[in-house]
Amino acid sequence: MSRKNQKQMTPGMLRQAVIGSFIKLNPLYMMKNPVMFVVEVGFFITLILSVFPGLFGDTGANLRTYNAIVSAVLFVTVLFANFAESIAEGRGKAQAASLKKTQKDTKARRLAEDGSETVILSSELKKDDIVLVSAGEIIPGDGEVIEGIASVDESAITGESAPVVRESGGDFCSVTGGTTVVSDWLKIRITSDPGNSFLDRMIALVEGASRKKSPNEIALNTLLLSLTIIFLIVIVTLYPIAAYAGVQLRISTLIALTVCLIPTTIGGLLSAIGIAGMDRVTRFNVIAMSGKAVEACGDVDTMILDKTGTITFGNRLAADFMPVSGASRSELIRCAALTSLHDETPEGKSTLELARRLGDQTTAPDQVQFHEFTAQTRMSGLDLPDGTRVRKGASEAIEQYVTAQGGKIPSDLHELVNQVAGMGGTPLVVCENDQILGVIYLKDTVKPGMQERFERLRAIGIKTIMCTGDNPLTAATIAQEAGVDGFVAECKPEDKIAVIKKEQAEGKIVAMTGDGTNDAPALAQANVGLAMNSGTTAAKEAANMVDLDSDPTKILEVVEIGKQLLITRGSLTTFSIANDIAKYFAIIPAIFMAAIPQLGVLNIMGLSSPDSAVLSALVFNAIIIPCLIPLAMKGVKYRPMSSGRLLARNMLIYGLGGVITPFVGIKLIDTLLHPVLLALGLGL
């Protein structure tokens, strides 16, 4: 899955695409694309007319040859459209094939309630089974670590060779089936039934089996169908008009005219653009659960980002102990260490590590009661057997706790808290019973380049909001340093949902990234939810995108990919419709010029004959599809600019270009084709 190791195209993929082009000729499949279905029906009719040229009363010399040429060009047109779609699908299927190699029916050591082991096949594992995996063994299924800590090689899934640490508790407890434990051991609770693992769903998605048309794609299909029906009506009415003017139009010419005027270019490339859009996201090591999610990225107005691990480096680490007046530093360190003895969070572990480095060897007596940190209490600590209660947590939470016990707030506490916040850090206040001892300084550093990235988002009209559990001063400092548009301090899970709902109520599309169980409700509420693969199962289930690299900032790039998809589709639609203008000027004047000489003024290309004009336009209509396949696959380059400038640029390049290109192309083809037609007795 690594982007660095993937080839854009291989001979094998090209071979499969060619085979797929013929398989997709099945009319039942072609009916899913009305525009190209009309072309295929036209091919079958002209094919019959190649054998029975007078079937519909057509007359003329070398009619069979003319019909055969039209039939051949229509056949090639359909093949090229199918080839574009098969190319896009082929890349996804190649990715799926590489993922399937990781799905080995491995042995699993299932643990019973009494601790006994039973060796079974991984395919026999059920949800909530407990398995033990040691160094060198493959994790048999998706799960959550309930005991142990180990390095896990996830290169089979992510393409990254560096092992990652997985441990019980926190947001880094999720493991994926097919990955390998490279050190120590893990006790894992299986979270998925056979055939419903993350890897199974990944394979189905990149293979295309789970792909559904997005709302925008459906809307555009409806537009193309409407245009096709309109042009069919126009062509039907053209026949009696031509007869009245004394022009005998052949059925094959009418079919050719229909194919040239309906939006076949975008009709042939539409599916390929959608598949390629999802493919670009996948190549970025992000799994989108639907094409709708990718498109929604392109419409994002507001982005909600967690602070820690997204805007700042992953873990806040204890850097110093700062006692209040009247309290000793050693006592502060002792109580801070006590509160962190059973704290499995990175902050708790770093606090204990710093205390040990400073010489503290405090241990907890037996029968202590540990209180975990929660978003509601915003503090953690221990209750000792002698009744002593030690706590650490947010400044406001500890102040309320101490005040409720009749304690007093030290006069310099707020000064210390503001000092830490002013340095961009996070203060944790420590207390023993009703006495505040001081502040733990958790160092928080903004990732380099974040300000520039948020400036880029601002340029494309996306508002960024940082959500953090920090106090307002710390949050304001980090927000200013990072360059976000707004922030929500002391943020609880329900606050994130409230922010998202507020933005959505204003008609905005909201994106959010997260990795914890507490992020799951907000990820589900957001229009675009990007979960980290390293995060909890709950987060991945709630989101509609999963980042295999677990890089929270990747949502910035994903948004740009979504915008690129929408721009690519819009640009090629503009080009396709603009094409019809040139083809109109190529065919109509040439057909009617003999009967109505005044129309000669519209024959600005000076095409050689009616037959040459029709066939040249038809050939151009066919070859433009494969010429645009690279653009459909790669996508139109996206540049941050206002919607007005973007529209003007789009109309200039793809609108005007879509008009000029056929004029040049058709004239060139006519010049080359006319001598051939004369040799065949056509084009006189």
Q: Which residues are known catalytic residues?
A: 306
Q: Interhelix angle for 291-298 vs 215-244, to 10°?
A: 90
Q: Which residues contact 379 (CB under 8 A, 6 or more apart)?
A: 371, 373, 391, 392, 393, 394, 397, 398, 401
Question: Strand 302-306 relative to strand 510-514: parallel, antiparallel, unpaired?
Answer: parallel
d(CA 274, CA 260): 24
d(CA 396, CA 392): 11
Q: What angle do CA 571, 574, 577 make, to 5 degrees?
A: 150
Contact indicator for 590, 607 with CB cutoff of 8 Å: yes
DSSP string, 420-478: HHHTT-EEEEEEETTEEEEEEEEE--BPTTHHHHHHHHHHTT-EEEEE-SS-HHHHHHH
Contact indicator for 442, 427 with CB cutoff of 8 Å: yes
Contact indicator for 348, 317 with CB cutoff of 8 Å: no
Residue with tokens 């110093």: 320
Q: Please give the single-letter amino acid code of residue 191.
A: T
Both tokens of 77, joined, read 């047109």
d(CA 390, CA 373): 13
Q: Interhelix angle for 413-422 vs 472-482, to 10°?
A: 10
Nearest to 82 by CA among 134, 16, 161: 16
